[in-house]
A = this chain, B = another copy of it.
Amino acid sequence: MDSINIKKLAEALNLSTSTISRAFRDNSDINDVTKARILSKAKELNYQPNHYASNLREQKSKTIAVIVPELANNYFSQAIHGIERVARENGYHILIYVTDDDYKKEVNFIRHLHNGRADGIVMSVSGEANDHNYLNKFGAKRLPLVFFDRIYEDIDTPRVITNDYNSSFLATEHLIEQGCKRVAYLVVNKSLSIGKTRMQGYIDALAKHQVPFEENLIVDCSNSYEENSTIIKNALTQLKPDGIFTSVERLAFATYYACYDLNLNIPKDLKVISFSSLEIAPLLNPSLTTITQPAAEIGEQAAKLLFTILDDHADKNESNEVVLESKIIKRNSTKKD
């Protein structure tokens, strides 16, 4: 391979490699004319400092890893886009890892990332987490880590979240105000922090309005499309709820499909509200009332938080918490007759 490197460029210009190197770093002293000459020749020969050599030398990768549970979800696409934008501005690249809500994959990704490939991690955790103490095993050598949205409460690391409890409370209250007497809560993993927090908001709102809480109105769903279809149809026919509050958007979609199949009318027979960042929620039939999280902003904030840690080399474990506001947008799926 006749590939270009710093040495060949140096020869071509009759300079030393150190001078070449300086032309590409901002700090070092170098004659402006020399620098211009080098950069011009570099462009001509298509030379760029080898990323791996630089990073081996500098012991950092200028790369952050983003770990998400799923990709075909408007919330995560938007969040990643936000992260990407901020990363780019800071001269960083992003690696993407999708866990498909598989805890083992998550552990695997994280472990492998500790080989220098990334300088830091932005993660929304998988839904299956039982023992996430694995994160503590790295001790002081753990990569800087920022959680967003789905977090492990017992891991002490910066995080960007939304006011989930409050939103859930208001969402449930909204259903009650619209006349619902039996509100079901659909959740994927109720033991996971985010499912738990949202559930608490639900429970407390019921209590406030003296609506009796029924354990079986909390419907634990799965990650499988088919299973959810069955679970939800059963719930609708057997529990006969008149309101549904979903913790993730795909459960709202599944509910819509179920209602179509069962010939139930939304919002007449059943009102639906869901966490969702779907931009076309107004186009659904009926338009979906959502708790909309500022997804892109959450991603941006998470990335920024990570960069403050990376820049400072400080406060790595300080439990810095950014809380953003979600908004309830009322549409036809919760309309009173």
Residues of A within 8 A of B (CB): 3, 46, 48-53, 55-56, 61, 63, 71-74, 77-78, 80-81, 84, 93-98, 111-112, 114-117, 137-138, 141, 253, 256-257, 260, 279-280, 282-287
Contacts and interface: CB of A to CB of B under 8 A. Distances in A.
Contact of A115 (B49, B73, B84): B49
Nearest to A332: B285
A252 B100 CA distance: 29
Given A52-B116, A95-B95, A96-B84, A71 B61 contact: no
A174 B81 CA distance: 36
B279 A257 contact: no
A137 B78 CA distance: 34
A117 to B, nearest CB: 4
A52 B115 CA distance: 8
A3 B141 contact: yes
Contact of A94 (B46, B72, B95, B286): B95
Contacts of A285: 283-287
The 4 closest A-B pairs by CB, nearest first: A285-B285, A48-B115, A52-B56, A51-B117
Contacts of A97: 84, 93
The count of identical subunits is 2
Contacts of A284: 280, 283-285
B71 A98 contact: no
Contacts of A52: 52, 55-56, 61, 116-117
Given A93-B95, A285-B286, A285-B287, 17 more contacts: A49-B115, A50-B115, A51-B116, A51-B117, A56-B56, A71-B78, A72-B74, A72-B279, A80-B96, A93-B97, A94-B95, A95-B95, A96-B96, A260-B282, A283-B284, A284-B285, A285-B285
B46 A138 contact: yes
A253 B283 contact: yes
A200 B84 CA distance: 36
Contacts of A116: 50-53
Contact of A77 (B72, B112, B114, B117): B72
